[in-house]
Amino acid sequence: MRLPYRVEPGQDVSVTVPATSANLGPGYDALGLALNLYDVLRVSTSAEGHTTVVVQGEGQNDLPRDSTHLCVEVMSTFFETIGFATPALRLTAENRIPHGRGLGSSAAAVVSAAVAANALLPESARLSNEALLQFCAGVEGHPDNVAPAILGSLAISWPHQASFAAARVSIHPDICVVVAIPPGQLSTASARGLLPDVVPHGAAAANAGRAALLVHALVTDPGLLVPATEDFLHQSYRAEVMPDSSALVKRLRSAGFAAVISGAGPTVAVILRDSLEANRVEAEIHAGISDGVPPEFWRVLRLKVDLEGARVEVHRR
């Protein structure tokens, strides 16, 4: 079928999208935090030729360089959904978010592609952030990573009828995050497959209370982060496929730090009330991963909360 509209050739845009940490303990499929670790996607349109992809950084030896690349697939779907023919594209993906580690790499790819495609449309045809959220969550299957990737800060998301909704929440300015990224990957689908269909009512009630407390702790009282990040819903069921990460979470929590599995894992995220705790946390992390796991194979990063979310820049040729 010939689509009625065409994207103008000769355009050049770049999109910067933050990493995200979802769940944050008890906020399963509902809470996500944007972090200042970024993927950058640059896209140029052409009137003729083939679509090409250049990958730099994470995944540069593994990801496809043609129309099967996730960003190209998402852009093509986006254009077709809006009623535009997909032009020849030249993509350069600068990936800094580790893949398969629970830091929202697939959500970042989906969001960067959708935001770039949206920016290439005529202004009158562009989607709102709310519509972009619907599209991206539909591609991902859930909104907990795409919402903070689009909106920045802390995002609370939930299913609404046949779609999704999200609210951006401004958090306490002193909060920062230390992440410990292990060498092995874990797919979200594999991690989800370990969860039971039914949990006890008491566990669900306890988890709801901690998730509510977590929003309060992140916004108003970071001193409550440790009890607020206790999870009763998903982390224990996934522990068997990430034993080193689970052991590290237990060690850090015993030491008084708000440690959780980031997203589906296996990255460990520690939410800190302020940056003064970072040195102590990093020392505890290195002590925890030195027993049987060479520390040099883990990456430990100090990160801030990203407040802007995805941002687009139009380049003039």
Q: What is the CATH number of the domain that holds 274?
A: 3.30.70.890
Q: In what order do the strands lie in the sheet with 176-181?
A: 258-261, 268-272, 176-181, 299-304
**CA–CA separation, 225 vs 152, rounded Å?**
20
Q: Are 231 and 25 in contact (CB under 8 A)?
A: yes
Give yes or no for a cis peptide into 173 (omega within 30° of 0): no
pLDDT of residue 7: 86
Q: Is 253 exposed, middle or buried (0-12, 13-18, 19+ CB in 10 A)?
A: middle
Residues 147 and 229 in one domain: no
Residues 85 and 110 in one domain: yes
Residues 235 and 87 in one domain: no
Give the position of tokens 């032009």: 87
Residues 27 and 157 in one domain: yes
Residues 35 and 145 in one domain: yes
Q: Are 110 and 76 in contact (CB under 8 A)?
A: no
Per the structure, the count of domains in the chain is 2
Strand partners, 33: 21, 154
The helix (run of H) or strand (run of E) holding residue 75 is helix 70-82
* Domain limits for position 147: 5-170+306-314
pLDDT tens track for 39-89: 999 999 987 778 899 999 998 888 888 889 999 999 999 999 999 988 899
Residues 148 and 215 in one domain: no
pLDDT of residue 315: 79
Chain centroid offset of residue 80 CA: 25
Q: Which residues of the chain have pLDDT under 70?
A: 1-3, 188, 191, 290-296, 316-317
